[in-house]
Copies of this chain bind each other. A is one copy, B any other.
Amino acid sequence: MRRSAGTLAVVGATGQVGTVMRQIIEERKVPFERLRFFASSRSAGSTINFGQQTIEVEDVDVADLEGIDYALFSIGASASRIYAPRFAAAGATVIDNSSAYRMDSEVPLVVPEVNPGDAARRPLGIIANPNCTTMIAMPPLAVIDRLFGLERVIVSTYQAASGAGKAGVVELDEQLRRPDLVRLTFDGAAVAFAPPQKFPATLAGNVIPLAGELRDGDTSEEEKFINESRKILGLKDLKVHATCVRVPVFTGHSIAVLAECRDQPRVERLVAELDQQPGCKVVGLPTPLACAGADAVLVGRIRRDRSSANGVAFFVAGDNLRKGAALNAIQILELLLD
């Protein structure tokens, strides 16, 4: 029997991930006594229907935080750095979807199917939810590590516009509505589009090999994949190479993965174990459209790598707003209530 979450808060309740969090709380019948919604002053004061209730969105900056037991945060890293400690100080356990605390050694970074035990030690009262791209790769990589000993991971990503928030979806949608899109793209006439705001180039008819900010060679998005994978899998010396690429897909992140192992991987054994792994589903053709709205990540194209002695390759697609964000946060909450 799952305990009640008592007073449960969704912080960033009007955003893209917050909206999916509200849907999933309802879908999964997360038990609670009281539900409170928070947002920035811009959205505060509006009301949101939840089941039979109408709930007013509170201003996160001025609301009374007494009595909140659990808070699901999705308000971006800089806001999380301000408000997550306030909620924690008032007694709430915070599950934060931003990058703010993920690499903090005092904050566990949890994928419930992979490292549930890490959630127990949370001295700051904060548990971090992984980056949406990293997350999608974790369930199958955890299985590979358990079976064959993971030594090196090489990934190329195919990331959807929704990973950059609602504004990314709107920008792509507007670009795709150009009736002369085919001719424009054949002419390479990127200049014919309005200057992009959310992405560093026009995304319609294009792929953009730059997600996040460029650091020393790698991007912030690639660094997240490298660092968070090591922390979640508990493999601090794991070798990781990532190339993060935005594609003109509205939702659903995909990743081409090459995993090099200590032991020789056996594909049949891997397929059988992946099929048993909660949060994974083996399919013929894992695609963003096939995974949208689903809880499990879809894994396919599983095959031995012919360029290394102990490599195995696969392709994985997952709903970046669900498993990549809102669903995983709520699964962490459920873990704490079980």
Is A181 in contact with chain B by the CB < 8 A criterion? yes
> Which residues from B are CB-within-8-Å of A317?
207
Contact segment of A30-38, A141-149, A303-311: A303-311
Contact of A217 among B152, B292, B303 (CB under 8 A): B303
Q: Which of A91-99, A132-140, A237-245 contacts B (4 or more CB under 8 A)?
A: A237-245
Contact count band on A: 35 or more
A297 within 8 A of B: no
Inter-subunit contact B290/A188 (CB<8 Å) = yes
Stretch of A71-79, A109-117, A281-289 at the chain-chain interface: A281-289
Surface stretch bound by B, among A49-57, A250-258, A325-333: A250-258
Rounded to whole angstroms, the CA-CA distance of A154 and B156 in the bound complex is: 10
- Nearest-neighbour CB distance to chain B for A290, whole angstroms, equals 7
Which of A61-69, A119-127, A198-206 is the contact stretch?
Answer: A198-206
Chain B residues with CB below 8 A from A207, complex form: 158, 247, 249, 254, 287-288, 317
Contact among B173, B206, B291, B307 for A188, CB-based, below 8 A: B291
* B154 A188 Cβ-Cβ under 8 A: no
User: Whole-angstrom distance between the alpha carbons of A291 and B240 in the complex?
Assistant: 29
With A287-B206, A307-B239 in contact, do A293 and B188 touch (Cβ < 8 Å)? yes
Known contacts A173-B181, A207-B288, A209-B285; decide if A243 and B306 are in contact (CB<8 Å): no
Q: Which of A184-210 contact B (CB under 8 A)?
A: 185-190, 200-202, 205-210
What CA separation (Å) do A305 and B209 show in the bound complex? 16
Q: Are B256 and A209 in contact (CB under 8 A)?
A: yes
B187, B201, B292, B300: the one within 8 Å of A187 (CB): B292
Asked if A154 and B289 sit within 8 Å, CB to CB, the answer is no
Residues of B within 8 A of A189 (CB): 289
Decide: A287 near B208, CB < 8 A? Known: A241-B313, A243-B256. Answer: yes
A301 beta carbon closer than 8 Å to chain B: yes
Binary B-proximity of A223-264 (CB < 8 A = 1, otherwise 0): 000100000000000011101010111111010101000000
A273 contacts chain B at the CB level, 8 A cutoff: no
A307–B252 alpha-carbon span in the complex (Å): 27
Q: Is A182 close to B, CB under 8 A?
A: yes
Interface flag for A48 (CB, 8 Å): no
Given A286-B209, A307-B241, the answer on whether A182 and B188 have CB atoms closer than 8 Å is no
A294 within 8 A of B: yes
Given A210-B301, A243-B313, A313-B241, CB of A289 within 8 Å of CB of B186: no
- Identify 16 new A-B residue pairs, CB closer than 8 A, beyond the known A152-B307, A154-B154, A241-B306: A158-B245, A162-B186, A181-B250, A188-B252, A205-B289, A206-B249, A206-B288, A207-B317, A209-B285, A210-B301, A240-B306, A241-B258, A241-B308, A241-B311, A245-B254, A248-B248
By a beta-carbon cutoff of 8 Å, the part of chain A in contact with chain B is 152-154, 156, 158, 162, 169, 173, 176-177, 179, 181-182, 185-190, 200-202, 205-210, 217-218, 226, 239-241, 243, 245, 247-252, 254, 256, 258, 267, 285-294, 300-301, 303-308, 311, 313, 315, 317, 319
Q: List 7 A-B contacts (CB under 8 A).
A: A162-B186, A176-B181, A187-B292, A189-B289, A206-B252, A218-B303, A241-B311
